[in-house]
Every structure is written in C-alpha cells, then in structure tokens.
Amino acid sequence: MLDSVFEKFVKDSPISVMARATAERGLNPEKIDAWFGMNAQEQYTKDLLFSSVFDLMSGVVTCSYPSVHAAYQHSQDVIGVSVTSVYNKLNGIEIGTSAGLVRYAAGELAPVITELGGTKAPLLPGYRIKLLDGNCIEASEHRIGELRELAAGALPGKSLVVYDPVLRIPIDVFPCEDGHAQERSLLGDVLATVEGNDVWVADRNFCTCAFITEIANSNAFFIIRQHAGLAYESLGEERQIGLTETGKVFEEPIAVTDASGKKHILRRIHVCLKTETRDGDKEIFIISNLPPEAANAKIIAVIYRKRWKIETAFQELEDWFNSEINTLGYPPAALFGFCVALISYMILAVIKAALCAVHGVEKIEKEVSGFYIADEISGVYRGMMIAIQNEEWKVFRQYTQSEFTEFLLRLSENVKLSAFRKHPRGPKKKPEKRKSDPKTPHVSTAKLIAMRKR
C-alpha cells in the first residue's frame, strides 16, 4: 500500500511515477551491481558502485541535472567518493560494459512491453526484423589536454544501433571509441549476434559482400539497399511486379559470390520513385535473400521504407534526452552516456505502451508527444525523489509481472493526455533571401512592425 505522499504524485504526475517504478523494477541498484559484477572484464567495484554511476548519468541524460558534476553535488554524501573518482570511473567504463547494459535492459523491459500489449504487428510474420543504422556522437568540448590547442571538432565515438520495430525499442548497440572509424569495421561484431530467421534491414553503407553472405550463411535474411560497389552477376531480365505508394517495383535474379567461392542467389528489387529522395535519387535498388513465398518484391520495398523508424528514434533521442553530452570528452564516458540514453528511451517506450493499452494506439501515436512526456519526468523527478525516499520504491522489486503491468495501467488512466499533446507544424516554407547592408548592421524590430501595421 502506497502512503499519502506517494499517492499525491500518483494523482498529479503519474508519468513520473511510472518512469521511476519501471526503473526500480528492472534496473534497481541491486540488479545493476550484480550484473556488473558478472559482466565487467577489467573494471571492478571498490568504493564507488556501478549503480551509483548509472544513477548519476541517468539524471543527466533525462535532463534532471545539467551536468555530471551537478548530479554528483546533489548526491555526494550518498556516493562517498570525490568527483575525481566519479570521472575516473566514467572514463574507464569498458565499451563492452555499456553495450551489455543496453542488451540487459532490453531483456528486462521487453516482456513488460509485450504484456502491456505495446508491440506493433510484425511487418513479416514468422521473422524478426532488425533495423541497423549508425550514430556518430557530436563533437565534444576541448577539455582534454590533447584537444586544447586543436580547432578541429573532437569526435568521442560512434555506434551501430539495432532497433526492433515490433517492440519499438533499441535492443542492441555496438559502440566504437574511434570517431573516425568506418561503420563497416563494426559489422564483424554485428555478425556475431545474427540468429536464424532474423531479417536485417539497413542502408547501402552496410551492403558489403562479406556482410550479406555471412548473414545468409547463418540461415538469416537481409533487406539492404544496394551499394554501387557491390559486384554481382545478373541471372535474368528485370520484370515489373507492381505498384506501391512510392512508385513502380521491378525485380531481377542476381548472384553474389562470397570469399570462399560459394554463389548466393539473391533478388534485386528496383523501385522507380514518384518523388526523389532527399539525396536526389529517382530510383533505388534493394538486395534481399528472402524467398519469394515469404515476401514478394512489393513487400520488401515496403519493409525497406520502414528503415526510417530507426532514424526517427535517433532524432527522438536527441530531442527528448541529453543523449550526447559534449562535456564528456573521453570516449568511454561519452559512449556510456549514449547507452544510458538508449535505456531511458526504453523506459519511455514502456510508458507509451501502457498509455496505448488504456487510451488506444492510434490516439497515443497521433496525439501524444514523447518530448512532453520526457519533460514531465525531468521536471518532477528531483522533487519527487526528495518527497519519496529510495526505500519506498523498493516495493516494486517484489511485484510480479502481472501486478506491475496492472499498476502501470491504473496510473495510465490518471494521465491527462491534454498536457502532452503534439503540435505538428505545417509544411515548411522556403525562406526568403535575406537582405544585407554593411551600412545598417542593426535594425529596430519595433519600427519594422510599426511600418507593417501602417
């Protein structure tokens, strides 16, 4: 039974309570530290717990605190070590630990989303589609000694992220400390995770002979835009298949030979677009090894279009969270911050799944803004954690799956959706060319408005 203060937050800010309860159930300090103890390779816990570092970074990523130092100052009595020790811990976090934490969080939260009914209908029944794309962390401030005399932007790393369109969350990440590294150099790590009946969907940058043939050799499938450098052999004439919303669809059989000399028979889908892409392309070519009985060419073209969902997720990460903390110059710390942002995105997905179950999928997707939900959480969190001590949240660790989903559904009924309404803008107008006059570097806004009124 929750006390009266708790119930006050349940009534007035159910979104914030849902977020904190979800984190407590799946990612509480005991679980996080136990996981770290079993998975860390070189780093170990001495005076500073890994869960404390995770909690500090979560506060910064969700914008409850403006910086790691600000979050530390608020909790330094509890943490019990110097701020230098905190930064040393952050700067030494192994990127494998950051990636593993994302996988762990996805494994903890995916069943909650599923039980809430927050999954989308599969694009291809019987297969698990995985959208793959890269993300480069923005340039950091020049705080490290080696950077202070350089004018060039300092890139603290990049990642490949795997997004599940059914769960609507990122489920895996492959970080890299070298901000200049080619994304293709990480594909070997991706291949190690390929499972039978996967369908990997990616842009042309990932269309290499080695990558697509190794996916095929793993009894998995791919839908990847053809790169101009892919060598292939045409096995027949192109034939028209039909029409989609984006244009005419054609198909031809081709063959690609891997490094061992094995020939792979593939399908080359040609889409003549009604509207040019943002790069000015009037046609695109998609390579796939899916059998025709599983997906015809039109379905493959439609699935490839869904690849934009992962790009939307990256944009939402940037808009909703502080996913790229440019004060963190050391690559391990910057990549850890990005991975914590991915986990925060998952928690938000749990909340949206509960809202969809109560208020309807169409209403939530069309009318509710994730930005305002994230803003509510960051605005209320600090005050809520003062009013409700950590010990009181532990009750959610004992909840069964069904008890927890029932709790989330009950709180979703209290959410005032009008407070989180989207405000979509109309199509952008082409900006007029600005006038420049060196003799008039400044103008009076008030005078210009007065002239307009006259």
Q: Domain containing 186 — which CATH number?
A: 3.90.350.10
Q: Is residue 426 part of a domain?
A: no
pLDDT category at 42 given cuts 50, 70, 90 is low
Q: Of the candidates 266, 294, 315, which is a domain's last residue?
A: 315
Please state, in angstroms and rounded to a whole number, the distance separating the CA atoms of residues 376 and 346: 16
Q: What is the pLDDT of residue 1?
A: 45
- SS3 category, 164: strand
Q: Rounded to the nearest 10 degrees, what angle do helices 331-359 and 14-26 cross at?
A: 120
Both 77 and 161 in one domain: the answer is no
Q: Is residue 247 part of a domain?
A: yes
Please state, in angstroms and rounded to a whole number, the distance separating the CA atoms of residues 183 and 205: 8
Residue with tokens 């890299």: 176
Give tens-digit pLDDT for 358-415: 999 889 989 999 999 999 999 998 889 888 888 889 999 999 999 999 999 999 999 9
Both 46 and 152 in one domain: the answer is no
Please state, in angstroms and rounded to a whole number, the distance separating the CA atoms of residues 122 and 324: 31
Tally of structural domains, the chain:
2
Q: Is residue 445 part of a domain?
A: no
Both 360 and 309 in one domain: the answer is no
Ranges 166-175, 227-236, 302-311: which has the least confidence: 302-311
393-417 as b/e, with b when 16 or more CB fall inside 10 Å? beebeeeeeeebbebbeebbeebee
For residue 371, report the phi and psi dihedrals to the nearest 5 degrees. Answer: -60, -45
Q: Is residue 433 part of a domain?
A: no
pTM: 0.90
Q: Of the candidates 283, 315, 347, which is a domain's last residue?
A: 315
Q: What is the pLDDT of residue 217?
A: 95
What mean pLDDT value characterizes the chain? 90
Q: Of the candidates 272, 292, 315, which is a domain's last residue?
A: 315
Both 300 and 163 in one domain: the answer is yes
Q: What is the pLDDT of residue 76?
A: 85
**What are the strands, taking DSSP E only, across 155-262?**
158-164, 169-176, 198-202, 221-225, 233-234, 239-243, 247-257
Please state, in angstroms and rounded to a whole number, the distance separating the CA atoms of residues 112 and 4: 27
Please state, in angstroms and rounded to a whole number, the distance separating the CA atoms of residues 115 and 171: 17
Q: What is the pLDDT of residue 313?
A: 86
Averaged over 264-289, what is the pLDDT?
90
Q: Is residue 219 part of a domain?
A: yes
**Helices of type H across 27-176:** 29-39, 50-61, 68-79, 83-91, 95-115
Averaged over 22-30, what is the pLDDT?
91
Residue 3 pLDDT exceeds 80: no
- SS3 category, 331: helix
Q: Is residue 351 part of a domain?
A: yes
Please state, in angstroms and rounded to a whole number, the distance separating the CA atoms of residues 82 and 49: 13
Both 158 and 259 in one domain: the answer is yes
Both 157 and 302 in one domain: the answer is yes
Both 303 and 346 in one domain: the answer is no
DSSP bridge partners of 127: none
Both 406 and 295 in one domain: the answer is no
Q: Is residue 102 part of a domain?
A: no
Residue with tokens 């969907």: 201
Range of the domain at 411: 4-94+321-420
Please state, in angstroms and rounded to a whole number, the distance separating the CA atoms of residues 258 and 264: 8
Closest CA to 329 of 319, 337, 318, 320: 337
Q: Is residue 50 part of a domain?
A: yes
Residue 267 pLDDT exceeds 60: yes
Answer for the pair 56, 71: CB distance below 8 angstroms, yes or no: yes
Both 80 and 130 in one domain: the answer is no
Give tens-digit pLDDT for 72-129: 998 888 888 899 999 999 999 999 999 999 999 999 999 999 999 988 889 899 999 9
A 10 A CB-CB count for 386 gives 9
Residue 46 pLDDT exceeds 70: no
CA dist list (Å): 413 to 353, 354, 355: 13, 9, 8
Closest CA to 15 of 302, 251, 355: 355
Closest CA to 286 of 254, 312, 261: 254
Both 237 and 283 in one domain: the answer is yes
Strands 247-257 and 239-243: antiparallel
**DSSP string of 238-286?**
-EEEEE-SSEEEEEEEEEEE-TTS-EEEEEEEEEEESS--TT--SEEEE
Both 397 and 296 in one domain: the answer is no
pLDDT category at 354 given cuts 50, 70, 90 is very high
Residue 52 pLDDT exceeds 80: yes
Averaged over 277-293, what is the pLDDT?
90
Give tens-digit pLDDT for 177-234: 999 999 999 999 999 999 999 999 999 999 999 999 999 999 999 999 999 999 999 9
- SS3 category, 136: strand
Radius of gyration of the chain measured on its C-alpha atoms: 25
Q: Rounded to the nearest 10 degrees, what angle do helices 68-79 and 50-61 cross at?
A: 150
Both 144 and 162 in one domain: the answer is yes
